[in-house]
Amino acid sequence: MAKLRGLIWILVTYLIGTSSARDYQCSLQENQLCIFRSVQLSSADQLNQVTFSSAGSSPRNVKFESSSMVSIPTAVFKKLSSVETFDGGNSGIKNLMSSTFMDASKLRELNLTNNKISLLRNDLFVGATKLNVLDFSQNSISEVQENAFNGLKQLKVLKLNNNQIANLSPNVFSQNTALEEVDLHGNSLSKLDDAQFAACSDLVSLNVSHNALQKFDLRQFLRDWSVDSIDVSFNRLKAVSIPKNLRKLVASNNQIQMVESLGKDPSLIFLRLSHNKLTSVDQVPSFNKLITLDLSYNAIESFDFSSVTKYRNLILLKLDGNRISTITNSLTSDWTYLKYVHLSHNQLTRLDMDVLRTLPRIITLNLSYNKMTEFSAKKLSDKFPVLVRLMLEGNDFRCDKIGELVKELKYAPTEYKSTAEQCKEGERLLGGICCK
C-alpha cells in the first residue's frame, strides 16, 4: 500500500512538474520531517511559478534531496510557515534574494552547506528573527555585506567555513549578541578587526584557522567569564596574546615569535604552538592551569627541565622536531606533575637518564629520531618506577656503547623494543635496540 502510494506521488509530481506551474509536494517522514525530492528550478520564471505543499499537517522540518534550484523560492516559506528547520544543502543554490525569509518567522535552523552562494546581501534575514543556527559552509561566498546578519539577535551558531571571504566589516556581527560558536576556517581573511567580536559576549568557540591572518588581537575576548576554544592555526601570525579567560588555544602553523598572557590567573589548559618560530620554552609565559603544551616543530635549541615549573599542572610536553642538542636540569627537588615528554626528531647526540632525576613520575619518554650514539640509564626501574614507554628508534646507537643499557632495560618494566624493520641499513638489533 505504501509502495503504491509512493508510486502515485512520483507520478503526480512528474505530471505536475511537466506543466508550467509546478507544485512540489513533500513526503512526510517521522519527526515531522518532510522531504522534497528532485526539485528542479533553473530559471527565474520557474522560481516565480512554483508552489510547495505537504500532505496533512504543516511540517516543522523540511529537507531537499537530489534537487537543483538556482535560488530558494519565497513560496516555500509562504506556504510552509511553520517550518523550523530547513535543510537545503547540496542543492546548487547560487543566489539568495532579499525577501527569501520574509515569512520564515518560525525558522530556527537554516542549513545551506555545499551550495554555490557567492554573496550574502544586506538584510537578507529580515523576517527570520528566530534563527539559531546558520550553516553556509562550503559555498563560494566572497562578499558578506555589512548588514547581512542584521536582526539575528538569537543566532547562536554561524558556520561560514570553506568560502572565499577576504574581508569582513568590523560591524558585521554587531547585532548578533547571542553568538556562541563561529566557524570561519578555510577562507582568505587577512585581517579581523580588533573589535570584530566585541558585541558577541557569549562567544565560546571560534575557528579562524586556514586563513591569511597577519594580525588578530585576542584582547577583544578578555572578560570575566570563560571562552572555551579559539583556533587560529594555519595563518601568518607573528605574535599571540592569550586572554586569561581562554581555556584552549590552537595556534599551530604560524610564524609566532612572541607569546603574551593577558590578565591574572589564566585559565588556559591546552596550548598548541607547533610549527612556529619560537627559539626557547622561556618565550611562553607562565600558565598555572596548563595541562598540555605543544611546542613541537619550532626552533628551540636547548631545554632545561626547570622551565616546566611555570606550568604547575603540566602533564604533557611536546618538543618534537626542534633543534635541541642539549638538555639540562637545574631543578633541585622532585617535580611529579609532568608525565609525558616528547623529544623525537631533535639533535641529541647523547643522553643520561640522570638528567630526569627530579621527574620520577615520567610515564612516556619519546627520544626517537635523534642522533644519539649512546644513552645511559642506571637503576632505571628504581628511579623511574612508572616509566612504561621509552621510544629510542631512529637513533645512531653504537653497539659497543649500549651493552649496559640493554642489561638495564631487560629488568625494567619499560617497553622500548624496536623491530628489525625499524633499523637503518647497516644496523642490527641488539636486545631490541638498533645499533651499528
Ligand X SMILES: *[C@@H]1O[C@H](CO)[C@@H](O)[C@H](O)[C@H]1NC(C)=O
Q: Which is nearer to ligand X, 46 or 250 (CB)?
A: 250
Cβ at position 127, least distance to ligand X in Å: 21
Contact 51, 21 (CB under 8 A): yes
Q: Nearer to ligand X by C-beta: 113 or 279? A: 113
Residue written as cell 568557540?
205
Burial (Cβ within 10 Å: 0-12, 13-18, ≥19) of residue 30: exposed
Rounded Cα distance, 244 and 246, in Å: 6
CB of 31 or CB of 53, closer to ligand X: 31
If 0-12 CB within 10 Å is exposed, 13-18 middle and 19+ buried, where does residue 278 land? Answer: buried
Number of residues that bind ligand X (CB under 6 A): 21
Task: Classify 46 as helix, strand or coil.
Answer: helix
Q: Does 344 bind ligand X (CB under 6 A)?
A: yes
Q: Which of residues 239-268 bind ligand X (CB under 6 A)?
A: 250
Only segment of 239-247, 278-286, 298-306, 361-369 that touches ligand X (CB under 6 A)? 361-369
The residue within the footprint of ligand X, chosen from 366, 370, 395, 414 (CB under 6 A), is 366
Q: Could you tell me which residues come within 8 angstroms of residue 250 by beta carbon, excluding any fewer than 6 positions away?
A: 209, 229, 230, 231, 232, 233, 270, 272
207 binds ligand X (CB under 6 A): yes
Closest CA to 258 of 241, 243, 275, 271: 241
Decide: is 185 part of the binding site for ligand X (CB under 6 A): yes
Q: Rule CB under 6 A: choose which of 209, 245, 322, 346 binds ligand X.
A: 209
Name the residue among 190, 188, 160 with its Cα closest to residue 172.
160
Q: Which is nearer to ligand X, 135 or 374 (CB)?
A: 135
The answer to whether residue 229 forms part of the interface with ligand X (CB under 6 A) is yes
The nearer residue to ligand X, 248 or 361, going by C-beta atoms, is: 248
| Shortest Å distance, C-beta 332 to ligand X | 29
Is residue 369 within the footprint of ligand X (CB under 6 A)?
A: yes
CA-CA distance, 40 to 258, in Å (whole number)? 54
Closest CA to 241 of 270, 215, 265, 208: 215
> Which range binds ligand X by CB under 6 A, 17-25, 96-104, 350-358, 364-372?
364-372
In contact, 136 and 160? CB cutoff 8 Å: yes
Segment contacting ligand X (CB under 6 A): 10-18, 41-49, 331-339, 365-373?
365-373
Q: Is 294 in the site for ligand X (CB under 6 A)?
A: no
58 to 97: interface string for ligand X, x by CB under 6 A: -------------------------------x--------
Give burial (CB, 10 Å; 0-12/13-18/19+) of 430: middle
Rounded distance, CA 32 to CA 230, Å?
Answer: 36
By CB under 6 A, name the binding residues for ligand X: 89, 111, 113, 133, 135, 157, 159, 185, 207, 209, 229, 231, 250, 320, 344-345, 366, 368-369, 389, 391
